[in-house]
Structure 1
Amino acid sequence: MATAVSTRPAPGRLDLQAALRNPLLGPLAALAIAVVVFSVVTDSFLTPRNLSLILQQSVVIGILAVGQTLVILTAGIDLSIGAVAVLGTIVMAKTGGPEGAAIGLVTTVIVCAAVGAVNGTLVTALRLPPFIVTLGTFTVVFAGTQLYAGSATYPVAAGPLTWLGTKFDVAGFTTTYGVVVMLAVYVVAGYVLSQTAAGKHVYAVGGSPEAARLTGIKAGRTLLSVYVMTGLIAAVAAWAALGRIPNADPNAFQNANLETITAVVIGGTSLFGGRGGVAGTLVGTLIVGVLRNGLTQAGVDNLYQNVATGLLVILAVTLDQFARRRNL
């Protein structure tokens, strides 16, 4: 009598295959390789001071990238998020101050959330493409910020509005409260996306809008909440920006929109929506920070740094497209 032979893979092999399919594996490997390479070619890269500097330089883009991740998970894109954050810095500087910091912060939150609500309403109510909507919003907000600021910069005195730039030591490692807030934003966003119904709705709307509708998910409400949340995150980034440089400049962060998209894509979140997460975005943000810092220390011209970053984005999108076709 023949004995039945199991065709199921061994547990160890199954675990290995599951690990290789983890979307975080690629970005983490890229980050590790970059750290090793720059540690070898430069003398000062792998020092506590420089690593702290990379984190501090990544704070604003890192926070904004969380909002960009939420939008991209819904198969959208936000080209206005950087301009909204810059508007937030001007509003905060003009309405706040050492004695009116709370007013400045609250006003900034309201203004940034309102811009997000406008984006969300245009996308949901009028069914306009997010690319077109946020491109238009970017133009309006950028010009409006220039008019509101009178094309002038506004220095911010030390106080609550610059508090996120305050440094402190942890086991000999110097960091800032801005870094702590950035990590907190990632933790909260990660929890919401993975552990709450609202987070599952975001993935459902981005992955298959029709299936989401058939299961009773209100796609319009989900999209509107995502864009409003993105505006709120931009307000936090504006506060962090004043902690980094206590000077509200209407011309600051002009490439923030593209840099956030870069961090999200390199971190493994699909531009087609429904796949990815903020953990990958954090790794993507660090990859960009490490790449720019390491190439600067190696004496590479800024233009070549942009070339390297652009090629990395193209590679990430190509791999995403390949993975998507395999899953179809």
Structure 2
Amino acid sequence: MKVRQAAALGPLIALLVACVFFSLQSPRFLTPENFSLIAQQVMVVGVLAIGQTLVILTAGIDLSCGMLMALGSVLMTLLGSRGGMSPMAAIALGIGATTLAGTINGLLVTRVKLPPFIVTLGTMNIAFALTQIVSRSQTVTDLPPVLTVLGNTMQVGSARIAYGTVLMLALYAGVWWFLRETAAGRHVYAVGNNREAARLSGINTERVLLAVYATAGLLYGLGSLLAVARTGVGDPQAGQTENLDTVTAVVLGGTSLFGGRGVVVGSLVGALIVGVFRNGLTLMGVSSVYQILVTGVLVILAVATDQWSRKGA
């Protein structure tokens, strides 16, 4: 029990230690403006990480999240700015496309019995190609205001908080409640712990997995909208590192890569850890190459901690 508690508290302690360290290195770090900037920087990865968490809780992995996000953002911006479609309908179709892709992932995993790694690797490449074809590798600009409204900010004390950040927090709260308080949420953990045992206990494991991948696709669509709101464009080159960024956030947040154990809020903490490190190192003038190096070290340490906690348990 002590090992599990340490593993659960580890991400939060790491975040606090990182904040203390960078506050000593730069006087600009502990300012409301900087913290609101960090929140805006992590809101896209934070929402994608919710979907990744659901998949990893079932002992799977989703490598397609970043490319699906890019495809969704290009579709909704093209349709909303050049396709003569109302912005709300364009948003709905963009989110619908990513949800459909997530559902196809789920069907391939449950009905065709393909490994999640292979399925989502293939989907990642298909989504990348479709994004380039649809956009002709050109950035989509001149967007209607509805598409970027979540990038607007509101005054909270001396800081300005983006509406997209509020949406991210609301999504975390909703998914946390679902996993903790509903039978369907507990089924997600059961499938990740032991899929065969869950099936024998009466849980429809295929339906659970299909719902998880479809929900992940829906969340990637919301991530698309947040990406458009944050950058103000539909970028066909986006999403190329988000698959690894989300896995990093989930692992740093204490969710086991072997499935069945973790708390979705931990993924938010993990995303904030990465955001704090990148922001703090930037304020210190450290090259982005070393920021990537530090992120890699953090991932290895997090996985090692997961292994250690499993053995201790």
Q: TM-score range by the shorter chain?
A: over 0.9
Three-state SS of the structure 1 residue aligned to 2:143 is coil
Shift in Å, 1:129: 0.6
Q: Are 2:291 and 1:311 aligned?
A: no
1:17-75 residue CA offsets vs partner (Å, 9 max, x unmatched): 76971543100100000000000011211101111100000010000000000000000
- Aligned counterparts of 1:253 and 1:175: Cα–Cα separation in 2: 23
Contact 2:33 2:158 in 1 (8 A): no
2:206: which partner in 1? 220
2:159: which partner in 1? 173
Counterpart residue identity of residue 264, structure 1? V
Shift in Å, 1:173: 2.0
Which of the numbers 197, 200, 208 marks the counterpart of 2:186?
A: 200
- Aligned counterparts of 1:155 and 1:224: Cα–Cα separation in 2: 35
Shift in Å, 1:326: 2.2
- Aligned counterparts of 1:120 and 1:99: Cα–Cα separation in 2: 30
Three-state SS of the structure 2 residue aligned to 1:44 is coil
1:53: which partner in 2? 37
C-alpha spacing 1:122/1:36, structure 2 compared with 1 (3 Å): same
- Aligned counterparts of 1:30 and 1:22: Cα–Cα separation in 2: 11
- Aligned counterparts of 2:33 and 2:158: Cα–Cα separation in 1: 10
Which is further off, 95-104 or 186-195?
A: 95-104
Contact 1:86 1:238 in 2 (8 A): yes
Which structure 1 residue ranges, 4+ long, deviate > 3 Å from structure 2?
17-20
Which is further off, 157-166 or 231-240?
A: 157-166
1:210: which partner in 2? 196
Counterpart residue identity of residue 150, structure 2? L
- Aligned counterparts of 1:243 and 1:156: Cα–Cα separation in 2: 12
1:121: which partner in 2? 107
Counterpart residue identity of residue 282, structure 1? L
1:293: which partner in 2? 279
- Aligned counterparts of 1:152 and 1:243: Cα–Cα separation in 2: 18
Counterpart residue identity of residue 36, structure 2? S
Which of the numbers 99, 112, 119 marks the counterpart of 1:133?
A: 119
Q: What are the within-5 Å matches in structure 2 for residues 218-257 of structure 1?
A: 218-257=204-243
Q: Are 2:9 and 1:30 aligned?
A: no
2:254: which partner in 1? 268
Three-state SS of the structure 2 residue aligned to 1:169 is strand
Counterpart residue identity of residue 212, structure 2? V
Shift in Å, 1:199: 0.6
Contact 2:3 2:312 in 1 (8 A): no
Contact 2:3 2:309 in 1 (8 A): no
Counterpart residue identity of residue 69, structure 2? A
- Aligned counterparts of 2:216 and 2:156: Cα–Cα separation in 1: 31
- Aligned-pair identity in percent equals 50
User: What is the RMSD computed on CA atoms of the aligned residues?
Assistant: 1.4
- Aligned counterparts of 2:157 and 2:4: Cα–Cα separation in 1: 34
Shift in Å, 1:94: 1.1
Which is further off, 143-152 or 266-275?
A: 143-152
Contact 1:23 1:276 in 2 (8 A): no
Shift in Å, 1:253: 2.4
Q: Are 2:75 and 1:91 aligned?
A: yes
Which is further off, 223-232 or 246-255?
A: 246-255
Count of residues in Structure 1 that have an aligned counterpart in Structure 2: 311
Long gaps (5+) in structure 1: 1-16
Contact 1:267 1:282 in 2 (8 A): yes
Shift in Å, 1:95: 1.2
Contact 1:86 1:252 in 2 (8 A): yes
1:302: which partner in 2? 288
Three-state SS of the structure 2 residue aligned to 1:300 is coil
- Aligned counterparts of 1:219 and 1:156: Cα–Cα separation in 2: 45
1:6: which partner in 2? none
Shift in Å, 1:99: 6.9
Long gaps (5+) in structure 2: none
Contact 2:151 2:229 in 1 (8 A): yes
Counterpart residue identity of residue 40, structure 2? Q
Contact 1:156 1:242 in 2 (8 A): no
Three-state SS of the structure 1 residue aligned to 2:240 is coil
- Aligned counterparts of 2:60 and 2:244: Cα–Cα separation in 1: 14
1:126-146 residue CA offsets vs partner (Å, 9 max, x unmatched): 111100100011011101110
Q: Are 2:76 and 1:76 aligned?
A: no
Larger radius of gyration: 1
